[in-house]
Amino acid sequence: MYYKILLVVLMASLISSCNQSNSHEGHNQDIESHEDLDHDEHEENNHDEESHEGNDHRTDVGNQEENDEIKFQYTSYSSDFELFAEADAFIVGETANVLSHFSVLPNFNAVEQGKITIILSVNGKETKQTLSKPTRKGIYSFNIEPETQGTGKLTFEIANDKGTFEVTVPEVTVFVNHQDAHKASENMVISQTNTTVFTKEQSWKINFATEVPNREAFGRVIKTVAKIEPARGGQSIIAAKTSGIVLFSDNGLVEGKKVVNGQKLFSISSNELADNNLSVRLAEAKSNYETSKANYERKSELVGEKIISEQDFLNAKNNYKSAKAIYDNLVNNFNSNGQQIKSSLNGYIKQIYITNGQFVESGQALVSIAQNKNLLLTAQVQQKYLEILPTIVSANVKTLHNNKTYSFKELNGKVLPHGESVTGNSYMIPVNLQIENKAGFVPGTLTEVFLKAVTNSNALTVPNGSLLEEQGIYYVFVQVNPELFEKREVSIGGTDGLRTEITKGISEHDRIVTSGAMQVKLAQATGALDPHSGHVH
């Protein structure tokens, strides 16, 4: 009985031990399952977070693409203004910003004051906005809301202290929705081959200008050198009217000094000379004058009373007039100190032929006075141009002191008859030009001239300032829009000192940079810039 009870207790204990072991293993499995579950949830959560981050990035891109603003650019010129506008797409019922740059022609300076009204006209309906002053220098920022779709025009009315002006963009489109605007903008992509950005803010800070090439008569040009001299009749040589000793009136009397008509230059005194003493001559002339005058007046009374003959009276009258002429001449040209030498015209002293204290004879040259107003240019031309010389109708003249070229029109120039024979040992043919001295030319110096022959043919020409040269190859900057310029190679022909013929590379419809081309080139060398840099949107 005892053994049976013991056997039952052992079996129960064994069964209990097995149950506890199974329970522990199950607990461990539960922990492992929980850890695995936590890990899986953590992994899943991490995956979800990564997926969420990816969705945010794509959303930004999508929003950026959706919010990427379409810009349309408009350029227009009047005789007084340049307009360059960057505008949002015009969509019915939506406000569009029109960032407008205004430059005053012909100097292309920024508009700094004035009231401007923008008018969008489509199918008879107008949308307007007026700004009383610039948003910033040169820039007016308009906001307008189109009311109807279609094609219309954009007009800018400018009112300032000089009057009222108008600039018109003849064709603009108002779209129904963004999709139509996007489709239209895709067809307006600007080529950026070899282009340089040069913003209006940059161009307003320098001497900048653009223009279209000229199609004009452009014949052969002879480049040569001319000597500058006073024009005929513009020079006077003053001579001594009596013998004597020359005394300068001014110690600063030197060649090149400016003088005015009637200005005293020298005096010639003969008081210390035994022969031809001017004081003695003046006293004798005065005595003869007074004696002949008294005799003439007395005989005038006697001839009326028939006391003397008519012949005696006429002799007395002639003696009086002769004495008076001699005396007046001496008084007008001489005084007690001698002859007074005065300038005979306005100009400058070209040459002084005597020295202070020198004895001179009557009729001897003392000084030459020349005018600077009108000048004679004598150009020497090679004989190979002989057949062209009769067709020379104009010229451009380049100063050497400031390297500036002037047209014949600016100098009121005219072509004089050319020489029919060679000059001296140079075997050159002289060509004479007359100009007004409006550019500070100095007589006696040399200058560069471009003799222009008449022609029946036309050529495409550009200002010389628009050309850039690199290793013998010439370029110009062609305007794509007022802030984007294409560097383009050109082939050149002749030049008249102001303009150069273009034989290849551009057309008469291309607008090119004529002033400031070097600064645009430097901007290209420093790298591309944001074309909207500095703008107010």
pLDDT of 146-194, one tens digit each?
999 999 999 999 999 999 999 999 999 999 999 999 999 887 766 667 8
- Is CATH 3.40.50.300 the classification given to domain 209-231+373-525? no
Three-class DSSP category at 243: coil
What pLDDT is stored for residue 185 in this prediction?
A: 87
Under CATH, to which class is 71-189 assigned? mainly beta
The closest of 220, 217, 212, 214 to 458, measured between CA atoms, is 217
Does residue 439 sit in helix, strand or coil? coil
pLDDT, tens only, 35-51? 443 444 434 444 343 33
Residue 200 to residues 204, 215, 481, 497, Cα–Cα distance (Å): 6, 28, 11, 30
Interacting residues of 126 by C-beta distance below 8 A, sequence separation 6+: 119, 120
Task: Write the DSSP string, 328-380.
Answer: HHHHHHEETTEEEEE-SSSEEEEEE-S-TT-EE-TT-EEEEEE-SSEEEEEEE
Query: In the block, which residue shows the tokens 């600063």?
Result: 252
Answer yes or no: are the C-beta atoms of 269 and 337 closer than 8 Å: yes
Check if the beta carbon of residue 83 is closer than 8 Å to that of residue 77: yes
Contact in structure between 245 and 358 (CB atoms under 8 Å): yes
Q: How far is CA 166 from CA 87, 158, 459, 535, in A?
A: 19, 6, 33, 23
Q: Are 283 and 334 in contact (CB under 8 A)?
A: no
Say whether 518 sits in a helix, a strand or coil.
helix
Q: How many helices (H) and strands (E) does the chain have?
A: 6, 35
Count of C-beta atoms within a 10 Å radius of residue 137: 13
Domain boundaries along the sequence of the chain: 71-189, 209-231+373-525, 235-370
Which of 66, 72, 67, 73 is CA-nearest to residue 89? Answer: 72
User: Six-digit token pair at 28?
Assistant: 């461990």
| Alpha carbons 96 and 102: distance in angstroms, whole number | 19
- DSSP output for 264-300: EEEEEE-TT-SSS-HHHHHHHHHHHHHHHHHHHHHHH
| 8 Å CB contact between 278 and 338 | yes
Query: What amino acid is encoded at 169 in this protein?
Result: V
Question: What DSSP element (H or E) covers 310?
Answer: helix 310-333
Reported CATH class of domain 235-370: mainly beta
**Could you give the dihedral angle defined by the CA atoms of residues 394, 219, 504 and 211, in that order, rounded to the nearest 10 degrees?**
30
Q: Hey, how many other C-beta atoms are within 10 angstroms of the C-beta on 490?
A: 22
The H or E element containing residue 398 is strand 392-398
Nearest to 90 by CA among 181, 15, 214: 181
Amino acid type, 249: S
* Residue 493 · residue 505 · CB < 8 Å: no
Maximum C-alpha span of the chain: 219
> What are the DSSP calls for 16-75, one per residue?
HHHHHHHHHHHHHHHHHHHHHHHHHHHHHHHHHHHHHHHHHHHHHHHHHHHH---EEEEE
Close Cβ partners of 330 (under 8 Å, ≥ 6 residues apart): 281, 282, 285
Residue among 134, 123, 128, 122 at smallest CA distance from 157: 128
Q: pLDDT by residue for the chain (537 residues), tens digit each?
A: 444 443 444 454 544 444 444 444 444 444 333 344 344 443 444 434 333 333 333 333 333 334 457 899 999 999 999 999 999 999 999 999 999 999 999 999 999 999 999 999 999 999 999 999 999 999 999 999 999 999 999 999 999 999 999 999 999 999 999 999 999 988 776 666 789 999 999 999 999 999 999 999 998 999 999 999 888 877 888 998 878 888 888 778 888 888 898 888 888 876 555 455 566 667 777 888 888 888 888 888 887 777 888 888 888 889 888 888 887 877 776 666 667 788 888 888 888 999 988 888 888 999 998 888 889 999 999 989 988 889 999 999 998 888 899 999 999 999 998 777 777 677 888 999 999 988 888 888 899 999 999 887 899 999 999 999 999 999 999 999 999 999 999 999 999 999 999 999 999 999 999 999 999 999 988 864 454 444 544
Q: Is 262 helix (H, G, I), strand (E, B) or coil?
A: coil
Coil, strand or helix at 3: helix
